[in-house]
Amino acid sequence: MSHSSYPGKLGASFIQRDKMVSSPSYVRPYPFVMDHGKGVEVWDVDNNRFLDFTSGIAVVSTGHSHPLVVKAIQEQAEKFIHISSDFYHPRWVELSEKLAQIAPFQEQAKIFLCNSGTEAIEAAIKLARYHTGRDKFIAFYNAFHGRTMGALSMMASKAHYRKGFFPMTNGVFHAPFPDPLHPLLISKPGEGIGETVVRFIEEQIFTHLAPPSEFAGILLEPIQGEGGYIIPPPDFLPALRKLCNKHGILLIDDEVQTGIGRTGKWWGIQHFNVEPDIVAFAKGVASGIPLGGIIAKESVMSWTAGSHGNTYGGNPIACVAALTTLQLVEKELMQNAAEVGHYALEKLQQFKLEFPFIFDVRGKGLMLAIEVLSPQSHHLSHSDFRDQIVQRSFENGLLILGCGQNVLRLIPPLVINKKQMDEGLHILYKVFKSI
């Protein structure tokens, strides 16, 4: 399968028309113009087939157009398409009950529904300020939390995401994220990398920048996504939870990319046996229908009527898509993500032994990463070398994306089987071999 002559005639015409009318702010890594999809497979408007290892950036968790999700959407659309949050409807209640049931903490949960990940982060920021009466936050280098102004202020992934948008929201301080392969801080003897970061917060931020009594929350991704699929060491989140408890600070867990079974558990934070106070979710929860929200401890969700709201949040189409998605994830797909992800990681470990430019392979479930270093003979930066692999994979029929500076991410739909994973990894192997 080769798409090196891509795009075809019809695809090229759509791309040209798009350039005339679409915002230049969008980033398209390669010229793919989708026509339809089924499960892990997608076809472009010129009828070229690809394997999709992007899932719309971890969104279509049940695969493209899962028949049960499509059926649920169709049946709801025939009843009614929208009612605002000024009123009630059964699917909203049922979805909120299910989300409360799977919350990663013991206390009773309350749910707020919106449309996207960045809206979920905005809601979490507002709730944390409202509940604590404090106005400051800590986030982490390499974090990606969204592009609206509050979320953007928390983000520290790439400078160009923030260029031209200052001033940011006040009161946000950033700390290094504990990257086991690229630590920014020096640990004391016997101290873990995660504990070092928490000590930095206490000794530097709380001592020199603002007292802990003024901080409403600490926001983090349990596994960093856009920043490079960085898995923190096991000592980090327990130490951070202890710090939050000590100073009355809320631990805010951004599960927009890691949640809803992606890592083989409902939530990424469950790999670290730590309970957050607020969870932000979106992406894979409704199989491609826009939906996001926060799950908070009942004691934390203390704001009053009118404090926050949303016109489209809790939309019945999104709710039925989410209910069906959660049923599928619970019944089979979360376990499948764990099993196929483990299978793929073992294969990638073999790749690492064969190809010296692979610096690391890592992941949880179907959130997989390959960190590459450009060979000196290529005279390319690590980032450009990574992008060359992404482009060549596309030309051979595999859709993948980069993250961080030099990382390839593999995030196929949770419905993927081992045969499809083998096909995708075989394409990637051929690309590596050609390089």
Rounded Cα distance, 339 and 189, in Å:
37
Q: Supply the pLDDT for residue 1.
A: 44
Q: Supply the pLDDT for residue 6.
A: 75
Going edge to edge, which strands form the sheet with 407-410?
358-364, 367-372, 407-410, 401-403
Residue 359 sits in a domain whose CATH number is 3.90.1150.10
**Tens of pLDDT, residues 249-272:** 999 999 999 999 999 999 999 999
Taking the chain, what is the end-to-end CA distance rounded to the nearest angstrom?
18
Whether residue 288 sits in one domain with residue 385 = no
Quick check: 168 and 153 in contact, CB under 8 A? yes
**Tens of pLDDT, residues 97-126:** 999 999 999 999 999 999 999 999 999 999
Range of the domain at 44: 9-66+332-434
* Total tally of structural domains belonging to the chain: 2
Residue 175 lies in a domain: yes
Residue 250 pairs in a beta bridge with 217
3-state secondary structure 328-385: HHHHHHHHHHHHHHHHHHHHHHHHHHHCCCEEEEEEECCEEEEEECCCHHHCCCHHHH
Whether residue 284 sits in one domain with residue 374 = no
- % of the chain residues with pLDDT over 70: 99
Q: pTM of the entire structure?
A: 0.97
Whether residue 361 sits in one domain with residue 323 = no
Residue 171 sits in a domain whose CATH number is 3.40.640.10
pLDDT at 276 over 90: yes
Whether residue 283 sits in one domain with residue 420 = no
Whether residue 85 sits in one domain with residue 162 = yes
pLDDT at 4 over 80: no
**Which of 329, 349, 378 is the last residue in one of the domains?**
329
Q: How confident is the model at residue 203 (pLDDT cuts 50, 70, 90)?
A: very high
Q: Which of 99-103, 374-378, 390-394 has the lowest mean pLDDT?
A: 374-378
**Which residues, 6 or more positions from 172, have their beta carbon under 8 angstroms from its beta carbon?**
136, 137, 138, 139, 153, 154
